[in-house]
Amino acid sequence: MRGCWSTVVTLSILLLGLGSLSCGESTKPRFDHEIRVERLRFFPNDISIGPGSRVRFVNVERRGSDTIRTVTSGTGPMDPERGNLFDEVLEGFDAGNVDGDDFLYDFDERGTFTYYTRFPEGEEFTGTIRVQ
């Protein structure tokens, strides 16, 4: 009987240990870098990151008819490749200290990626991400 009891205790300890391993939270953050849209510019507007980095683009302007922005890949409206990687519409926030719309993009390839906003038309602003 004593041998049976020690076997039960040993198995219980092993099962508890395995359960805690599978219940651990992921250590990967939701995003590695953040770029904010505010006051008609991207902040920061020029960053260098590593391959595999996840970037969060977020509109932190107060919501109104003139705070709808896009984050569009490319150098500007005349770029024939504009929007090929991403073209997301981000509205500002309603009230309080809550961010507006956001989106995440994983930069897996090395290279230089330019992006701009299509709104407000005629006042496009740009940014650059260098993946090194």
pLDDT in tens, 26-71: 555 599 999 999 888 999 999 999 999 999 999 888 776 577 889 9
pLDDT of residue 20: 46
Which of 14-18, 99-103, 108-112 is predicted most confidently? Answer: 108-112
The whole-angstrom separation of Cα 89 and Cα 70 is 4
Q: What is the DSSP letter of 2?
A: H
Return the CATH number of 33-131, one of 1.10.3080.10, 3.40.50.720, 1.10.510.10, 2.60.40.420: 2.60.40.420
Distances (CA, A) of 89 to 9, 18, 107: 57, 44, 19
Q: In this structure, are strands 69-73 and 111-116 parallel, antiparallel, or unpaired?
A: antiparallel
The whole-angstrom separation of Cα 131 and Cα 37 is 20
What is the tens place of the pLDDT at every residue in 118-130? 887 777 899 999 9
- Taking residues 95-112, report their average pLDDT: 86
Q: What is the DSSP letter of 51?
A: T
Q: Where are the domains of the chain?
A: 33-131
pLDDT of residue 26: 54
| Tokens 């107060």 sit on residue | 62
CA atoms within 13 A on the CB side of 108: 2
Q: Considering the chain, what is the average pLDDT of its residues?
A: 82
